[in-house]
Amino acid sequence: MTLAIKAAGLTKSFGDVVALNGIDIEVEQGTVLGLLGPNGSGKTTIVRILATLLKADSGVASVAGFDVVTQPDEVRSVIGLTGQYAAVDEYLTGRENLELFARLFHLSKIDAKKRADQLLDRFDLSDAADRGIKGYSGGMRRRLDLAASLIGRPNVLFLDEPTTGLDPRSRQGMWEVIEDLVADGTTVLLTTQYLEEADQLANKIVVLNHGEVIAKGTSDELKSQVGGDRIELVVGAASDLPSAAGLLREFGSGPATTEPEIRTLLLPVSGGSSAIVDVVRKLDENKINIADIALRRPTLDDVFLSLTGHAAEDKTETAGAPKGRRGRKARR
């Protein structure tokens, strides 16, 4: 196993704010590590330290075997970075931006042109290549930004929230591009606020909260910590709950729990949406009235609730969630 990124005991404070409080990270070559955490948890700070843009107060880190403090030039020569905010020049066209970056990498004029063309094509930007960036959509900007970070053919790529603000289709497109890069052998460290994104792309996930690692593992390991998928069923009458629980036992991957005061039954399931069909059919056959039913997949919020006892974005209890159930869980 070769480590492309290795960090141990990283700390960083900004005045009174402790941004990182002893971070250990290891990323195997050719794999994707997802750094998952809410606003202010330290994701960008870690990326900046690893990319040699910021010095840690203590701890050590190396990228491709090069120490980020004593060998910054070597580190820079093997990495690519797509920052959280687009780094491209508003007043240039897409093609001009890429050519500019290529020239910064000391490519000749002709090679810069070639490289820009290749990347424009790869990122589906050829049609828009000669338009000013100002008219690009968020998704196009993000793709151009990623293209720019690939000019130097980096072995290790840092992507800071590559899909925040993108619509589902653009997000999907970005995921495919990242998957292609990894298939070609690139090591990727990406930060994200979406468990779904880490789930799709990352071999391993590190969950951050207030500058500390609060969990790490594969996406399956994290999800099993929060209990996996579950069906939330609201029945017409609370008195139906015990019989519903009995009828549905065979579909659950664990015991059902009921919350009579909100006529709700929670059933852990492994079959995803097909389990919902079974449940609806069974209840229908037995004339139990369904007021509402939904499949709930674990979200980052659930991971946070289960790991910290409070919601991700907010120290109060209900950050962006369906109120009732979540509020109670947070107080537990």
Provide the binding-site residues for Mg ion, judged by CB under 5 A: 43-44, 84
Residue whose CB is less far from ligand ATP, 43 or 76:
43
* Residue 45 found at the interface with ligand ATP (CB under 6 A): yes
Supply angle C-alpha 206, 210, 214, rounded to 5: 35
Which partner from the list ligand ATP, Mg ion, none does 95 bind, CB cut-off 5 to 8 Å by kind? none
Q: Rounded to the nearest 5°, which phi and psi values hold at 122? A: -60, -35
Supply angle C-alpha 288, 292, 295, rounded to 5: 110
Q: How far is the CB of 171 from Mg ion (least distance, A)?
A: 17
> Binding segment for ligand ATP among 23-31, 42-50, 217-225, 257-265 (CB under 6 A)?
42-50
* Residue 40 found at the interface with ligand ATP (CB under 6 A): yes
Which partner from the list Mg ion, ligand ATP, none does 192 bind, CB cut-off 5 to 8 Å by kind? none
Residue whose CB is less far from Mg ion, 178 or 266:
178
Q: How far is the CB of 315 from ligand ATP (least distance, A)?
A: 13
Q: Which residues, 47 to 106, sit near ligand ATP by CB under 6 A?
A: 84
Please, what is the angle between helix 94-104 and helix 138-149, to 10°?
20
Q: How far is the CB of 301 from ligand ATP (least distance, A)?
A: 14
Residue whose CB is less far from ligand ATP, 19 or 150:
19
Q: Are 313 and 38 in contact (CB under 8 A)?
A: yes
Widest pairwise Cα distance in the chain:
77
Q: How far is the CB of 268 from Mg ion (least distance, A)?
A: 33
Determine which residue in the list 27, 34, 43, 251 makes contact with ligand ATP, applying CB under 6 A: 43
Q: How far is the CB of 124 from ligand ATP (least distance, A)?
A: 27
* Residue 44 found at the interface with ligand ATP (CB under 6 A): yes
Q: Give the Å distances, CA to CA, from 171 to 44, 166, 178, 299.
A: 20, 6, 11, 17
Residue whose CB is less far from ligand ATP, 5 or 125:
5
Q: Could you tell me how many residues of this chain bind ligand ATP (CB under 6 A)?
A: 12
Q: Rounded to the nearest 5°, which phi and psi values hold at 2? A: -105, 130
Q: Rounded to the nearest 5°, which phi and psi values hold at 83? A: -75, 175
Residue whose CB is less far from ligand ATP, 19 or 157:
19
Q: How far is the CB of 57 from ligand ATP (least distance, A)?
A: 12
- Of 208, 191, 163, 211, whose CA–CA distance to 14 is shortest? 211
- Of 26, 27, 23, 25, whose CA–CA distance to 58 is shortest? 23
Residue whose CB is less far from ligand ATP, 179 or 212:
212
Distance from the Cα of residue 132 to its chain's centroid = 30
* Residue 42 found at the interface with ligand ATP (CB under 6 A): yes
Q: How far is the CB of 41 from ligand ATP (least distance, A)?
A: 4
Q: Give the Å distances, CA to CA, from 268 to 52, 74, 244, 298, 325.
A: 45, 50, 14, 11, 15
Residue 148: its H or E element: helix 138-149
Q: How far is the CB of 51 from ligand ATP (least distance, A)?
A: 13
* Residue 19 found at the interface with ligand ATP (CB under 6 A): yes
**Burial (0-12, 13-18, 19+ Cβ within 10 Å), 73:** exposed
Buried b (16+ CB within 10 A) or exposed e, 302-324: bbbbebbebbbbbeebebebeee
> Where along the sequence are the contacts to ligand ATP (CB under 6 A)?
14, 17, 19, 37, 39-45, 84
